[in-house]
Structure 1
Amino acid sequence: MRSSERTQGATLIVSLLLVMLLLAVIMSVTAQVTLSARRSSSDQESVLRAQLAAESGTALIQARARHEHPAAQRAVQSRRHPRRAERPGCHLRPDQHARRGGRQ
């Protein structure tokens, strides 16, 4: 064998090894990105479930409080709209009563 044939053979082997190394690095990076994305989506799902459970519990407690304690509900309304609390069940503002000819 001539030395040029040996050089070509060695170059081919080195080139193949470099290509294999490059492919291994690309596959490793791809695997890491995939695992990271899976973890992230799993974390987001857990956060969403926790948030929905908290909101559901809050809504349930508010509904029970409204049903079981109507006086407390009127007190909350009186803080928001002091004039409406004087006339329970009235949905009009005081200035609307005056325009409609109603009592004040």
Structure 2
Amino acid sequence: MSRAWPTRLDFSKSRKVLTIDFDDGQTAELPYQLLRIESPSAEVQGHSPAQKKTVTGKENVGVTAANPVGRYAVQIVFDDGHDSGLFTWDYLRELAGLD
């Protein structure tokens, strides 16, 4: 299967949702809260599944910036200061239940 690439990322401040359109015709809508609590950072995921932390209290978290990382990912900066996770396109598709 060929990798699907994003054609559009739309960060909705009012809805607190990231909408991603992929070149295979699929669309993902990911709430900021989900992105924050499932951040791929070591701070959240740990270095093994047993080390994964449960993050709470992020119902109203916002996004202040999104920085491209090469052609494979985006670094999302949250308004609580968290910015260490690199969200690959594959990981975003996984969070959205695509594929």
Query: What TM-score range do you get, normalising by the shorter chain?
Result: under 0.3
Work out which of the two has the higher radius of gyration on C-alpha atoms and give 1 or 2: 1
Identify the structure with the greater strand proportion: 2
Structure having greater relative contact order (Cα 8 Å, sep ≥ 6): 2
Identify the structure with the greater helix proportion: 1
